[in-house]
Chain A
Amino acid sequence: MSGAALLEVEGLSRNFGGLQVASDISLTLRAGDRCALIGPNGAGKTTFVNLVTGVIPPSAGTIRLAGRDVTGLPAAERVRLGLIRSFQVARLFRSMTVREHLELAVLQRDRRTFRLFASVARVAGLAGEVAELLDAMGLGAVASTAVGSLPYGQQRLLEIALAVAMKPKVLILDEPAAGVPHAESQRILDAIDRLPTDLAVLMIEHDMDLVFRFASSIVVLAQGRLLCSGTAAEIAADPQVREVYLGSRADAR
């Protein structure tokens, strides 16, 4: 069932001043894994993503990608090795169109961005692939719209499309459905379903509906610590999780 280890995180820790936002987190994702990371607001989920992807340096711990230690590598280098994330808050180029975003992502992935005299419109195979990506996310109608004037829900879909376009080995989605109208969130699941089965996906999500539909395993993070992990059924039944996670969610609302 489970393949080779793609992402191995060991003893990852980080503090902001006095605040311990990640303490001794260890986690392994194998080829084919569909794992959900859940936890109350402020648990340190996004921080964990930032640590793993190299946006902020950890104070302790190691990160291995397909067996290779990437702890000291810059973010862009990890991306080139196939570790891709989406942002919790859509982070896009406001004046560029939807199509241009996907073109840039695909060109960047294939390292064809240093072509100075080729026209983007004529790069072999690009238009077709971009059209497929647009279709998959239902963004075809707004392909030529500048992202700055796009409804937020569609910006979120583009954010996911960008991550998918990168053909990741390990894909980390930080609350992909946040801000997406409920009817559209199925598109995101569909897109994930269409991904090659041999890559590993870690999804951070608050919407438990989505979590249970997506995940084969669930990891619970609270106050920067791994609380427990298990199959969806185990987690759903775990009284400790209900207590900590659902309890504090109820407070937050």
Chain B
Amino acid sequence: METMFGIAVDGVAYGMILFIISVGLSVTLGLMRVVNLAHGAFAMVGGYIASYAAQGAGLPYAAALPVAVVLTVLATLPLERLLYRRIYGSANELAQVLLTIGLTFVIVAGINYLFGPTLKRIPLPELLTGTVQIGSKAIPAHRAFVIVAGGLTLLALWWLLERTDFGIRLRAAVDDPAMAAALGIRTERLYLATFALGSGLAALGGVLGAELLPLEPYYAIRYIVLFLAVVAVGGAGSIFGSAAAALALGIVDTAGKYLIPSFGEFFFYAALILILFRWPYGFFKGRTA
């Protein structure tokens, strides 16, 4: 019983991290049709900035988090202008794969040059190191924080896409780019804003998830497959799809780690093949955004 509860909490927390990072990938993929294999590297950059801000510059966690997100966005925006813009569109998938793998390698090398190959931590504030009591159960405060943050991200994204002007234009452009352009929606600025949103989410997830997906230079390569899998199952551009797929993967994977013999990942990827076989655009495509 206790393990089941532990699995549930850890699994949901892990799933939320996967969600926050993957949904950023999902949004850019949905709108710009770009397979951004460097997305994991963006998350890693966010994590490293936060780590440096907290340990090197002595900022509190509450300040390091937003600083990391903003700086990551600022650092990646020039990439959109210089590199990504040339490879948008689904006809370019090979160029996309190569360019974003190349970018990933460069970022991995750069991070290692700046911070070295050792594991980096983002020290948690005291508030997040203890446990919180929910009814009779105690759960680690950090896990609770991550779960709440993931839920808030989901709500905020829903609000952004369903209720704001930006969201309306974004959905219009996803549905029919030519029509959106004809209606005077400035796709260039929309792409830039969406790209910023994507890398901001990556950075947020990278910082929040540093306890679960430890920061080291190979982070960028190690976890990108997970993020891609979430997007493929959730459907490009679908927020709730990403959330459902991420939670499923998080729980399955965590359960696999606790329970022996574990075939968690195996089942996830088998499910992925079956799902993509049956629904080539993702299981949840078309329900939202």
A and B touch in the complex (CB under 8 A): no
Which chain A residues have a beta carbon within 8 Å of chain B's beta carbons?
none
Which chain B residues have a beta carbon within 8 Å of chain A's beta carbons?
none
